[in-house]
């Protein structure tokens, strides 16, 4: 540990030191593979964004276009360097890839607790697009690593504002969890009983694990919400940057930045837009502008009553994840040894 309290990184031959130079070539390979994947699906008539009509198949060509565009931008960046325009184009294509990855979290949840995803091709598209978003963003930032030796900052907590946002993201799940646990424990909410909810889950293809947890009074979505809250606080507290002392092999080691950031970004990119758009729809339905479909519930009013807690939880927690992930990214970013003092001391909560 240096005199300023920072931990020096490993030698220049380590993977972390070599990765920035490899981001561009790897992103170029991804872009070519993604374009080929989209072309194969378009020619075979496999819809990647739901539906089966010509309009749905036509969207496959958007994947081809994105892949070809990303390949062109990555190739130009490797040939001419990261000029300002190319950096902007890398971020734009990365943002479009993140949009194409929407639904990845739902695919993971369906695989864990359902009988399988609705479309394996769509799930593959979500996964490839998420990888591409990370690679293109890494390429856009690949020339900003400090030269020479680098130091890892001391584990620190996020600023007060970020921690308050995390508190809001946690509190937003309380009404949702209360609703779900009411059903799981045998109660009734929105004129629906536990038995009716179990029957609906079974009819909709819930896995045996999901149904077993429900029969034990444990709602799977509440458990996932608890994991989301754990991830959220790991992003804003110092313990989220170092493995715990009770871990036998990793005791005291730094947590790789990608380990919490990857699920945080996937969760934020899925929950935030889904929740915000859902809140808008609930507001319009409450005002009578649109009609809420009753779905599996007895009435549209019951469906709306259930939708409000869910949309509030998804929207607030998704936004909180995005804010916390940005703070974690900034606080854990390595700095050059010569400029370590210029950043000021880390904000550590004793």
pLDDT in tens, 43-99: 988 888 866 556 677 788 999 999 999 999 999 999 998 899 999 999 999 999 988
Spatial distance between the Cα atoms of 121 and 131, rounded to a whole number of angstroms: 15
- Residue 296 binned pLDDT confidence (cut-offs 50, 70, 90): confident
Q: Which of 255, 235, 227 is nearest to 243 (CA)?
A: 255
**pTM of the model as a whole:** 0.78
Q: Does residue 144 carry a pLDDT above 70? A: no
Q: With cut-offs at 50, 70 and 90, classify the pLDDT of residue 150.
A: low
Sequence-distant (≥ 6) Cβ neighbours of residue 98 within 8 angstroms: 129, 130, 133, 269
Give per-residue pLDDT as tens, 188-216.
Answer: 999 999 888 888 888 877 777 777 877 77
Token pair 């020096």 is found at: 8
């Amino acid at each position: 540990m240096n005199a300023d309290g920072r931990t020096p990184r490993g030698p220049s031959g380590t993977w972390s030191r070599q990765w920035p130079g490899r981001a561009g070539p790897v992103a170029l390979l991804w872009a070519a593979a993604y374009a080929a994947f989209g072309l194969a699906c378009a020619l075979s008539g496999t819809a990647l964004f739901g539906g089966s009509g010509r309009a749905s198949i036509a969207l496959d060509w958007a994947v081809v276009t994105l892949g070809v565009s990303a390949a062109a931008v990555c190739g130009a960046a490797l040939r001419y360097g990261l000029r300002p325009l190319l950096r902007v184009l890398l971020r734009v294509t990365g943002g479009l890839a993140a949009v194409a990855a929407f639904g990845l979290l739902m695919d993971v949840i369906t695989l864990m607790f359902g009988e399988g995803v609705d479309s394996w091709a769509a799930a593959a598209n979500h996964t490839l697009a998420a990888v591409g978003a990370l690679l293109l963003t890494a390429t856009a930032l690949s020339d900003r690593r400090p030269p020479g030796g680098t130091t890892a900052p001391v584990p620190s907590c996020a600023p007060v504002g970020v921690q308050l946002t995390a508190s809001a993201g946690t509190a937003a799940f309380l009404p949702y969890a209360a609703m779900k646990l009411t059903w799981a424990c045998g109660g009734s909410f929105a004129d629906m009983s536990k038995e009716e909810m179990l029957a609906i889950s079974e009819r909709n293809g819930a896995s045996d694990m999901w149904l077993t947890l429900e029969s034990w009074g444990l709602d799977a979505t509440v458990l996932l919400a608890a994991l989301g809250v754990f991830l959220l606080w790991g992003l804003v507290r110092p313990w989220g940057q170092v493995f715990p002392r009770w871990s036998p092999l990793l005791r005291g080691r730094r947590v790789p930045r990608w380990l919490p950031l990857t699920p945080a970004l996937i969760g934020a990119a899925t929950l935030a837009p889904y929740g915000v758009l859902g809140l808008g729809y609930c507001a319009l339905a409450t005002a009578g502008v649109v009609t809420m479909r009753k779905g599996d519930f007895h009435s549209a009013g019951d469906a709306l009553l259930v939708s409000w807690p869910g949309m509030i939880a998804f929207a607030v927690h998704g936004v909180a994840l995005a804010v916390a992930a940005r703070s974690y990214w900034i606080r854990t970013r390595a700095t050059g040894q010569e400029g370590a003092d210029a950043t000021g001391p880390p904000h550590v909560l004793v």
